[in-house]
Structure 1
Amino acid sequence: MAQPTVDMLIIGAGPSGLYAAYYAGFRGFSVAVMDSLPELGGQVTALYPEKLIYDVAGYPAIKGQDLVDAMVEQAASANPRYLLGQTAEQLVEADDHVEITTSDGTVVQAKTVLITGGIGTFAPRSLPGAEQWEGRGLMYFVPRLDELAGRDVLIVGGGDSAFDWAVSLEHIARSVTLVHRRRGFRAHAGTVEKVLASSVRVLVPYEVDTIHGTDTIESVVVRDNSGTEASESLNVQAVVGALGFIADLGPFTHWGLEQRKRHILVDQAMRTNLPRVFAAGDIVDYDGKVKLISVGFGEAATAVNNASVVIDPSLHVFPGHSSDND
């Protein structure tokens, strides 16, 4: 197949990857963006396009798909070449570039690579013993909120996703109940307070015991795990297992990348242990790492700027402020 040659190959077309594409174009680099999904936006598009996002500067709240649409428009200024529906399988290092072979046999030559996830990096944690109910009322994300309109919904989990879904579904579903196996929550304190003050029923410390129904879910028995063994049957037609995700580096595990806790380890410049490979976003780990979309934007810019001197040694890491170009 043809061998596209670019200054930077970005693996992952989520928010961090799209911002990196824009910023690489701002620095004058040619860019290709690869993702295993058939459309842009990464996990935001695939998992929660209608969920409100609160940690993006300039937006008190913005729907996931609206954010992706704006970022695609911004990235267009870099004229990126998109390689969608493809995964990065093999990496071969050369003196002045790397070669990435994709799942369909395309070979991409790039002076640098920036990994921002996007190749099936995260798989949802499943609800134990409930596999037979998937597609029959059990889901692990809610692409369209209106699918649950007028239904009684049980949300399982105590993190940000669980509480975000509770807020989003309160006035769409007929009723919303949230159960968590611990008394404490991992979600943002403000969102927790909002849910506790809403019509959402919160049961802690409870966990799912059994799911009942015929063709679809009709009820769920939840059990108090504090020692009382009290249980309650809830009439629900949908269960959202907001239990978080399990990191899976996939082909990256064969590239010789240094890892920590199933994430790619980077330094303060977003450099990996491979000379021409950088990483940013949720897929990376370093001391003090905070997993926010806004942090991913900063990491992407840091990675692009530090990659610039690898692409062209005559350049400087700091390009000056964008306002200086007016």
Structure 2
Amino acid sequence: MSAPDELAVDLLVVGAGPTGLYAAYYAGFRGMSVAVVDSLPEAGGQVTAMYPEKMIYDVAGFPAVRGRDLVKGLVEQASQWNPTYLLGRRAHKLHTAGDGLRVVLEDGASVSARAVLVTAGIGEFTPRPLPSGEGWLGRGLVHFVPALDAHAGQDVVVVGGGDSAFDWALALRPITSSVTLVHRRARFRAAESIVRQAYAEGVRVMTDAEVVALRGDANDLLAEVDVAVGGDRVTLPAQTVVAALGFTADLGPIESWGLGVERRAIRVDTTMATAREGVYAAGDVATYPGKVKLIATGFGEAATAVNNIAVALNPGAKLFPGHSSDV
């Protein structure tokens, strides 16, 4: 559900990746009202942004699950409790307000919460710009592809040389009119096997090349791009450019919240509590001795954090929630 500019909930989850989505479900299960904020425009965090089409093999209960299907299931699981999503909105400042906390978003809106759970992966993700530095104010430039079908029949240009760039190119190739991958170097960061697969499946690959201009049509929709290759300039039809250049990861404003940060991670105790009262952390952003960064680990940490938050908010509540099969 959408949110007003002023919102009050029991728990604010900062980060809509798998850990945050599971925390939203679990908080609802424990009877809390929940809001989830994330700087990315789609739920799923790194999974949606970096590898939605890849198969994941180490999530309990799934011999194999595609990234986007895992996210879809987590969103559906949480939806029974009607969490409020604030996507494409960045958490900026944290204040103590009475007996609770108040998080001010970068756009000026605020969320009052009795507790805050930070599940922001390895930090907030800011898409890297195109190498040319040129932006595009119309529609057609994206940094990830949450729905492949939206690009069916299009001419697509993918910019980048890592695994994500090749993943997008291979996933889009069967449903698009054409896919061209543009990389400014002759060598790739992607695995050699996926590069060979792209060539074998007919993806056009342009190396030592750079997108230098994007042009739209009368409706301000992307129509074509210019690619500089050596001393030449090639014009390609393109209704979508996927800038798969990776993301700059950092904690952003969260680092100034007084949570106890070390090496871009937040120290937590056995309850997942941070150095600041009322604020907890779980998932890749949380650290403690022996920490293993896995999606499965994040799920357990989310449950641990939420159950301890439930007791903190209601001292009469039990830490153990009971078995969901008995509810």
TM-score scaled to structure 2, two decimals?
0.69
1:217 to 212, 224, 242: 224
Equivalent positions of 1:197-276 (< 5 A) are 197-202=200-205, 206-208=208-210, 210-211=212-213, 216-223=223-230, 233=234, 235-237=236-238, 238-247=240-249, 249-260=251-262, 263-267=264-268, 269=270, 270-276=272-278
Q: Note the C-alpha offset of 1:164.
A: 2.1
Aligned to 1:108: 112
Amino acid in structure 2 at the alignment position of 1:273 = A
SS in 1 for 2:64: coil
Equivalent positions of 1:1-326 (< 5 A) are 4=8, 6=10, 8-26=11-29, 28-35=30-37, 41=43, 43=45, 51-55=52-56, 57=59, 58=62, 60-62=64-66, 64=68, 67-77=70-80, 79=81, 81-82=83-84, 84=86, 88-93=91-96, 97-103=99-105, 108-110=112-114, 112-117=115-120, 121-133=124-136, 135=138, 138-180=141-183, 181=185, 183-186=187-190, 194-195=197-198, 197-202=200-205, 206-208=208-210, 210-211=212-213, 216-223=223-230, 233=234, 235-237=236-238, 238-247=240-249, 249-260=251-262, 263-267=264-268, 269=270, 270-281=272-283, 283-284=285-286, 293-294=295-296, 296-305=298-307, 307=309, 310-311=312-313, 325=326
CA contact (8 A) 2:15 2:45 kept: no
Aligned to 1:226: none
CA contact (8 A) 2:160 2:181 kept: yes
SS in 1 for 2:56: coil
Q: Note the C-alpha offset of 1:113.
A: 1.6
Change (3 A) 1:320 1:197: farther
Deviates more, 1:50-59 or 1:156-165: 50-59
Aligned residues: 308
SS in 2 for 1:131: coil
Amino acid in structure 2 at the alignment position of 1:221 = A
Q: Which runs of 5+ in 2 are unaligned?
A: 218-222
Amino acid in structure 2 at the alignment position of 1:108 = S
Structure 2: distance between partners of 1:288 and 1:201:
44
CA contact (8 A) 1:52 1:61 kept: no
Q: Note the C-alpha offset of 1:151.
A: 4.0
Q: Note the C-alpha offset of 1:125.
A: 0.3
Structure 2: distance between partners of 1:167 and 1:214:
25
Q: Note the C-alpha offset of 1:174.
A: 2.6
TM-score scaled to structure 1, two decimals?
0.69
Deviates more, 1:16-25 or 1:85-94: 85-94
Q: Note the C-alpha offset of 1:99.
A: 1.5
CA contact (8 A) 2:132 2:211 kept: no
Q: C-alpha root-mean-square deviation of aligned residues, in Å?
A: 4.5
Q: Note the C-alpha offset of 1:248.
A: 5.2
Structure 2: distance between partners of 1:220 and 1:289:
44
CA contact (8 A) 1:153 1:240 kept: yes
CA contact (8 A) 1:211 1:220 kept: yes
SS in 2 for 1:142: coil
Amino acid in structure 1 at the alignment position of 2:160 = G
Amino acid in structure 2 at the alignment position of 1:74 = Q
Kindly provide the CA deviation profile for residues 41-88 of structure 1, in whole angstroms up to 9, marking residues without a partner as x. Answer: 25589869x943522732734473x544432332245x3552636765
Change (3 A) 1:151 1:162: same
CA contact (8 A) 1:219 1:235 kept: yes
CA contact (8 A) 2:100 2:278 kept: yes
CA contact (8 A) 1:33 1:81 kept: yes
Change (3 A) 1:124 1:106: closer
Q: Note the C-alpha offset of 1:245.
A: 1.2
Amino acid in structure 2 at the alignment position of 1:157 = G
Structure 2: distance between partners of 1:74 and 1:273:
31
Aligned to 2:220: none
Q: Note the C-alpha offset of 1:37.
A: 7.3
